[in-house]
A = this chain, B = another copy of it.
Amino acid sequence: MATTKFLLPEDQMPKHWYNIAADLPTPAAPVLHPGTMQPVGPDDLAPLFPMELIGQEVSTEREIAIPEPVREVFRLWRPSPLVRAHRLEKLLGTPAKIYYKYEGVSPAGSHKPNTAVPQAWYNAQAGVKKLSTETGAGQWGSSLAFAGALFGLQVKVFQVRVSYDQKPYRRALMETYGASCVASPSNETNAGRAILAQRADHPGSLGIAISEAVEVAATNDDTKYALGSVLNHVLLHQTIIGQEAMLQLEMAGDDPDVIVGCTGGGSNFAGIAFPFIGQQLRGKGKTKQRRIVAVEPAACPSLTRGRFAYDFGDTAHLTPLTKMHTLGSTFTPPGFHAGGLRYHGMAPMVSHLTDLGLIEPTAYHQNTCFEAGVLFARAEGIVPAPEANHAVKGAIVEALRCKAEGKSDVILFNLCGHGHFDMSAYTAYFSGKLVDQNYDEAELAMALSGLPSVPA
């Protein structure tokens, strides 16, 4: 029997993050100040982030060193395994080779600690005492809570109310790590109070929770803000996934033809894909041309149905404007189970690369993704998070294409987290209660018509 798991020794864990800004054929559009419509400078962002992270946000250096104290924490679970899905291949009867990079081995069960740990560390180094953030289902909130515990930072999480009420277990995880967690919209911020005045039982949204967390950071000197996806420095921190996978595939003697990831804000996808895209960009056509597939939920399809335009990251319009694929900041996606993919926008860098034709976006509804996840669980043992089921679905589609074409492509996908906190979604799937929700076309049109106008 051939090897199943490819494990890197700790001393081969990457010492640098890979910054794709160094290799872009054309730079991404600048971030704009919502008041002046001029590109933001470091000072504009200083109330929210420490200077080291602001520097990473705008850096064009190809390699950025991972601080040793951050690597020390990473050693608790990294390098993460690359697994050859022998049993899934057999079940599908495909000649393709399927590999998955498994990020569910982290303490919080997903890829999110890859950026939570450095964000907490840079903040602690800058003398920050408190971090505020938002979370949907809780993957990001629990990851930042974990990272805060390691570096002595108080973490305050605004959790979207519908998740706060429905998923108490991730909240318990945040509290186990010592963080405090409040339902959003809350009475603790102007943004929250304004929403509650309109509707006392508002279920909340990520856009609202971001507004609350940003407000707390902007109005408290000892508090900074941390975001779990979308921004350049967050995507940068996730590239350790793809860098490790590249080394592990070398150990396996394989080179991927197709790379698949799921996209919500874009960070786990960027993590696995950017190092490979960068290799291609540097090779200028002389290296292997790989297909890079981004799988998003059909109910919140920013890449496949959104507009590539400037928009706000939050509902209360406290954030700068970024050019990205967006469904409009007032768009409220249906309540499907992949909470981590329920965001109106897309990481500007992922949007830019999609616009350049380097990424193939595709969208699936949730039932077919759960079907793929259950097939995977019964073959490989791991129950994927609902978000990760989208990547599983994408990989299975590619494997079945290979079967039909008689091709033995090498498929790599990112299994970004396990579903142990999401079993109620599986229960709903098995009971037939899971509905493939469509977004409201009229609402999308209205949200898009409300995009801010930016001078050319």
A residues lining the B interface (CB < 8 Å): 1, 3-5, 7, 9-10, 68, 72-73, 75-77, 83, 87, 105-109, 113, 146, 149-150, 168-173, 175-178, 374, 377-378, 380-383, 420-421, 423-424, 426-427, 430
Contacts and interface: CB of A to CB of B under 8 A. Distances in A.
Contacts of A427: 168, 171-172, 175
Contact of A107 (B68, B72, B383): B383
A5 B8 CA distance: 11
B423 A68 contact: no
Contacts of A73: 381
Contacts of A7: 7, 9
> Which secondary structure dominates chain A's binding surface?
helix
Given A9-B7, A427-B168, A427-B175, A381 B1 contact: no
A172 B7 CA distance: 31
A118 B233 CA distance: 46
B378 A68 contact: no
Contacts of A83: 76
Given A1-B72, A77-B381, A146-B381, A175 B430 contact: yes
Contacts of A109: 420
A113 B107 CA distance: 20
Contacts of A108: 381
Contact of A5 (B75, B176, B420): B75
A173 B3 contact: no
Contact of A423 (B169, B377, B383, B430): B169
Contacts of A377: 107, 149, 176-177
Which of A9, A169, A381 is the most central at the interface, judged by chain B CB atoms within 10 Å of its CB?
A: A381
A168 B378 contact: no
12 contacts: A1-B75, A4-B76, A5-B10, A5-B76, A7-B7, A76-B382, A87-B150, A149-B378, A170-B423, A173-B420, A176-B426, A176-B430
Given A107-B382, A176-B374, A421 B424 contact: no
Contact of A421 (B150, B178, B420): B420
A4 B176 contact: no
A326 B153 CA distance: 47
A430 B77 contact: no
A105 B427 CA distance: 23
B423 A178 contact: no
The 8 A-B residue pairs whose C-beta atoms are closest, nearest first, are A107-B381, A172-B423, A4-B75, A169-B423, A420-B420, A149-B378, A172-B427, A172-B426
A169 B177 CA distance: 22
B383 A424 contact: no
A442 to B, nearest CB: 36
Nearest to A381: B107
A420 B418 CA distance: 10
A430 B149 CA distance: 16
Contacts of A3: 10, 75
Contacts of A423: 168-170, 172-173, 176, 421
Contacts of A4: 10, 72, 75-76
B107 A172 contact: no
Given A169-B169, A172-B430, 5 more contacts: A106-B381, A149-B378, A150-B381, A168-B427, A173-B383
